Amino acid sequence: MVHPELNNRRCRFLVTGGAGFIGSNLALELLASGQDVVILDNMATGRIENIEELKAFAGKDGTEGTLRFIEGDMRDLAVCREAVEGVDYIFHNAALGSVPRSVEDPVTSNDVNVAGMVNLLTSAKDAAVKRFIYASSSAVYGDSVELPKVEGSEGNPLSPYAVTKVVCELYAEVFERTYGLQVIGLRYFNVFGPRQDTESAYAAVIPIFVSSLLKGKAPKIHGDGETSRDFTYIDNVVDANIRSAFCAPEATGRAYNIACAGRVTLNELYGKIATLLGKEDLKATYGPERVGDVRHSFADISCAEKFLGYTPKVDFKEGLDLCIDWYKEHLA
């Protein structure tokens, strides 16, 4: 099904991080809607299987768009200039994610996330790209205890990763004000779904729980399990990106919460996944809280609804069912 915002349009999109979880899902939707896609990924955390799947899908019949894959690093300005050539819109999802990784290695997280962002913004400006949509994070809310999280009420960042996302938002705003490049930031809240990595030491909580339980092992929960998150299915994030490319110019120059506007504790999450997998007998173990983790995450999405026309397409329960089905097929 063609995304409504892409109906009767043919554009060229750059998707950075297109070999990763969010980027590959976004690229697949663009290709299915008959768009031309360029992927830039250095494969540091991306998966070649995702690229091969996208290559097999592109041009399969008369309805799919074209795909070009550039294996390169966005820290190289020349690579960024090559990637943006002839591009109408940029979806920037490449980054070194994970709070724990940034705590262990703040230098590389800053180098990739901040310097890479500036290179892409500069290349987009010089190439007169129509709009630049980039991935921010709920981590920017830091130590703010306000719930739900509302744009404009951010606290102090709690990790180097969070700092990089705050800086990226500042750079984006400056490039709009100074150079006229239209930018929109999307503050993702705990995205989950198909193609999310289960093997990395920095994997997200849902794939960790699912992978462990499918192997018959009880996973470890950091803290007491009452930490809560606004888990957001991947289809909602893909929809928000595409809407951001074509919304009114009045919506640009700011960042928006992209979430489901609800929250689930890790204990509740574990119980739901264990039940869906028939592993209720496996009880989770508990360990120390992780440095830099936010205690509660719950988004107000009214600004995204108003300016982007965004509403969650898939709620948490439906998304978890879909996610479990995918992992059963691909991991069992």
Residues designated catalytic? 161
User: DSSP E strands: which ranges in 34-94?
Assistant: 36-41, 67-71, 89-92
Sequence-distant (6+) residues with CB within 8 A of 172 are 117, 121, 132, 134, 183, 185, 255
| Other residues' Cβ atoms within 10 Å of the Cβ of residue 27 | 32
Q: Is 197 exposed, middle or buried (0-12, 13-18, 19+ CB in 10 A)?
A: middle
Residue type (1 letter), 189: F
Cβ atoms 11, 35 nearer than 8 A = yes
- CA dist 264 and 280 (Å) reads 18
Cβ atoms 269, 225 nearer than 8 A = no
- CA dist 155 and 93 (Å) reads 23
Indicate the angle between helix axes 316-331 and 266-276, nearest 10 degrees: 50
- CA dist 8 and 26 (Å) reads 18
- Report the alpha-carbon angle 91-105-97, nearest 5: 25
Q: Which residue has the tokens 């921010």?
A: 136
- CA dist 68 and 55 (Å) reads 8
Tokens of 274: 């264990």
- CA dist 109 and 103 (Å) reads 9
